[in-house]
């Protein structure tokens, strides 16, 4: 089975722009979670999607949004980028909700905001 | 408050040593997860625990629900174990969203 894939792997943007990141889960997995990792804050939960519905959202501003498609692929969008949004963005998929199942992580998208 | 504390922050060991990494959490959890992150960013889920003990190869994870504490042990450590180890709590009051420890950076010297 192919693993979790994320595109693009690297991205450079400037302040004020918006960005869309993509995550393709393992085939058959219905849950996709997104995480932000920075040197200062470590790993933080962004949101979780299950069967095309956002089930949980972490403590992030409304500039961070996402969606999940019928094939379970997920996208996250960050609008009006700030310097502090520079981070590694990771997605993880699981067959069931994360509380009851092992998550498989993608390689991440490294976003740099200049 | 849903906090996770992890110790030590950094750990250097000689090859073959027994290693312990500790994780404490604050309130009731559905599960406690141990993750491994290698340089470059890739994360692998090692264990998901809600009680007792689990073992996979040279790795052992334990959890004490009453003390709100979990440990990850590595027996006969090897340089390829060098990585950052992160614990994550899935709290009952939030559910399905993880709260992460700050990670333990392990270096195993040959």
pLDDT 10s digits, B10-33: 999 999 999 999 999 988 888 999
- Flag if A90 and B41 touch (Cβ within 8 Å): yes
Classify residue A57 by burial, with Cβ atoms within 10 Å: 0-12, 13-18, 19+.
Answer: middle
Which pLDDT does position A11 carry in this prediction?
A: 97
CA distances from B2 to A104, B15, B31, B94 (A): 23, 35, 13, 9
Mutate to test the interface with B, among A95, A98, A101, A109 (most CBs of B within 10 A): A98
pLDDT reading at B82 higher than 90? yes
**Which tens digit of pLDDT belongs to each residue from A7-21?**
999 999 999 999 999
pLDDT reading at B2 higher than 80? no
Residues in chain A predicted with pLDDT less than 50, given as ranges, are none
- Flag if A98 and B96 touch (Cβ within 8 Å): yes
CA distance B100 to A41: 10
**Which tens digit of pLDDT belongs to each residue from B29-78?**
889 999 999 987 789 999 999 999 999 999 999 999 999 999 999 999 99
CA distance B88 to B99: 5
* Cβ–Cβ contact B9 with A under 8 A: no
**Closest chain B residue to A58 measured between Cα atoms?**
B97
**Which residue do the tokens 């195993």 mark?**
B108
Q: Please name which of B65, B34, B38, B64 lies closest in space to residue B47, comparing C-alpha atoms.
A: B34
């Amino acid at each position: 089975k192919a693993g979790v894939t994320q595109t693009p792997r690297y991205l450079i943007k400037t302040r004020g722009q918006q960005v869309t990141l993509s995550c393709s889960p393992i085939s058959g997995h219905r849950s996709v979670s997104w995480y932000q990792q920075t040197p200062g804050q470590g790993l933080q939960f962004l949101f979780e999607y299950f069967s095309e519905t956002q089930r949980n959202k972490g403590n992030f501003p409304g500039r961070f949004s996402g969606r999940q498609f019928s094939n379970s692929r997920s996208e996250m969008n960050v609008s009006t980028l700030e310097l502090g949004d520079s981070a590694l963005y990771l997605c993880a998929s699981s067959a069931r909700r994360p509380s009851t199942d092992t998550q498989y992580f993608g390689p991440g998208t490294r976003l740099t905001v200049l | 408050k849903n906090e996770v504390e992890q110790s030590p922050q950094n750990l250097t060991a000689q090859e073959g040593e027994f290693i312990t990494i500790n994780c404490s959490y604050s309130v009731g959890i559905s599960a406690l997860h141990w993750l491994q992150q290698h340089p470059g960013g890739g994360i692998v889920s090692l264990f998901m625990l809600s009680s007792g003990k689990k073992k996979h190869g040279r790795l052992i994870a334990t959890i004490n629900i009453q003390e709100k504490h979990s440990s990850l042990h590595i027996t006969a450590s090897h340089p390829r174990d060098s990585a950052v180890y992160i614990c994550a709590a899935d709290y009952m009051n939030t559910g399905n969203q993880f709260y992460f420890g700050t990670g333990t950076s392990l270096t195993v010297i040959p």
